[in-house]
Amino acid sequence: MKGAANVDIYQAHLMSSSKLKMKALGKLAEGTTATDFEACVLLHEAARSEEAALASLPMAPAETRLATAIELCWCLVAGRDPPGAATAWGEILRLCTVVGSKNAQPMLSRIEPLYMRAHDDFVKRLSKCKGLAAARASRVLVPSSDSEAKKTLVEVEDILKHYPGAPSLWWAKYRLLEHLHRVKEAWDALLRARQLEPQRASFLATSLLLSVRARSATEASEYVASIRSRLESAGAEVCLFYALAMIELAHKGAREERLAAARDAANAGLAQAGSTSMRNALLAAQLLLVALDHGEKPTLDIFYRADLGDIAASMPAGIVALSTVVNAVASLAAA
């Protein structure tokens, strides 16, 4: 009975993915910038449905897993996300070894040339974006100077015209815009990344704090509050940013209620934190909340006591602006 139920779920996910792909092709046929992006969003959703279909079959044969990886890769190539497609291609190569080349080779006849063309095209375009390529290689997306950030932003905006489905490029755009204090545009960029990968916790987490800075207090309050019921299972990062967003919102009204919500979130986050740096960041948020509760101005003690001496070391002693504490904790989590 359970096996039959699994097959039904498998078929339902496949049908869902199929409809999304067909709709995406329809959007691509319209060929406008807006419909192209909609197609990319649909194709990313289709890829997630393919994964869900496979996950519903606990004993899937290797050929079926390879077929899923191939379809997923196609979704991301057609969904203009070369970095995402590259991850799927890695899975294809691993599964080809399991299936054996005699069976795998005929399965690759369509996807291999398609993927290789997409890969070459991306590499070619990326090679013209010196700033972005350097940022990707060093994994530090935001250059140290504003002028470098502006140059890299131009490159990112240019490459996004060709790859509107790459969440990592929208993320880069968001980081650069935020660095340049263009928070409303940063919000739009982050929203695009979230549309493509709504399941990515870091996108959701950062959107909470950014919403307070980029949107009206009412809009931000509604947006942040909509996440509250998910905090127990959302992960430490989301809890931390929820707490930081509530701390900033508390300055715009409903102080006690919002600080209480921030405390709850920090506590929920500590229960889910898997790394020392995340625990330290959440501890810093808790210490900040204690200071605010006592009506005290935050000081460097928060960082020292949260075992974040390296942050304290680079700051002048004494009272620290609330936004500085929030930004330091947020950047620690983002790193």
Partner 1 sequence: MTTSYAYALEQLLTDQEHDLVADTIAPVLAWVPGKTTKRAAQPFVFELEHKLSTAPAKTVAIHLTWDVAKLQARIPGLAAHAERLKSGGSAQREHVPELAAYGLAFVAISVLMPGVRVLAFRKGLAPDLLFDVTPGAFKGVEVAGRSTGGAASLRGVRDGTPQTAGKPATLGKAAQLVARADVAEAHISLWCASPRVAIQQKVKP
Residue 108 or 225: which CB sits closer to partner 1? 108
Give percent helix, percent strand, percent coil of the chain, each to the nearest 5: 80, 0, 20
Contact 287, 307 (CB under 8 A): no
d(CA 260, CA 308): 24
Q: Could you tell me the smallest distance in angstroms from the CB atom of residue 240 to partner 1? A: 38
The residues binding partner 1 (CB under 8 A) are 10-11, 14-15, 17-19, 21-23, 25-26, 28-32, 36, 57, 60-61, 63-64, 67, 70-75, 78, 102-103, 106-111
Helix 111-127 / helix 82-99 crossing angle, nearest 10 deg = 140
Q: Could you tell me the smallest distance in angstroms from the CB atom of residue 33 to partner 1? A: 11
Residue 110 or 251: which CB sits closer to partner 1? 110
Contact 250, 262 (CB under 8 A): yes
3-state secondary structure of 95: helix
DSSP-derived letter for residue 295 is: T
Q: Which residues contact 306 (CB under 8 A, 6 or more apart)?
A: 280, 281, 283, 284, 287
Q: Could you tell me the smallest distance in angstroms from the CB atom of residue 206 to partner 1? A: 32
Q: Could you tell me the smallest distance in angstroms from the CB atom of residue 69 to partner 1? A: 9
Residue 35 or 299: which CB sits closer to partner 1? 35
Residue 74 or 303: which CB sits closer to partner 1? 74
**Per-residue tokens: 175:** 């980081």
Residue 62 or 315: which CB sits closer to partner 1? 62
Q: Could you tell me the smallest distance in angstroms from the CB atom of residue 42 to partner 1? A: 11
d(CA 237, CA 331): 11
**Per-residue tokens: 290:** 């204690």
Contact 21, 75 (CB under 8 A): yes
Q: Could you tell me the smallest distance in angstroms from the CB atom of residue 165 to partner 1? A: 14
Residue 24 or 210: which CB sits closer to partner 1? 24
Q: How far is CA 123 from CA 87, 119, 131, in A?
A: 15, 6, 14
Q: Which residues contact 300 (CB under 8 A, 6 or more apart)?
A: 312, 315, 317, 318, 320
Residue 61 or 253: which CB sits closer to partner 1? 61
Q: Could you tell me the smallest distance in angstroms from the CB atom of residue 194 to partner 1? A: 25
Q: Could you tell me the smallest distance in angstroms from the CB atom of residue 107 to partner 1? A: 5
Q: Could you tell me the smallest distance in angstroms from the CB atom of residue 81 to partner 1? A: 14
Q: How many CB atoms lie within 10 A of CB 33?
A: 9
Query: For the chain, how far is it from start to end, CA to CA, in angstroms?
Result: 47
Residue 13 or 263: which CB sits closer to partner 1? 13
Residue 81 or 248: which CB sits closer to partner 1? 81
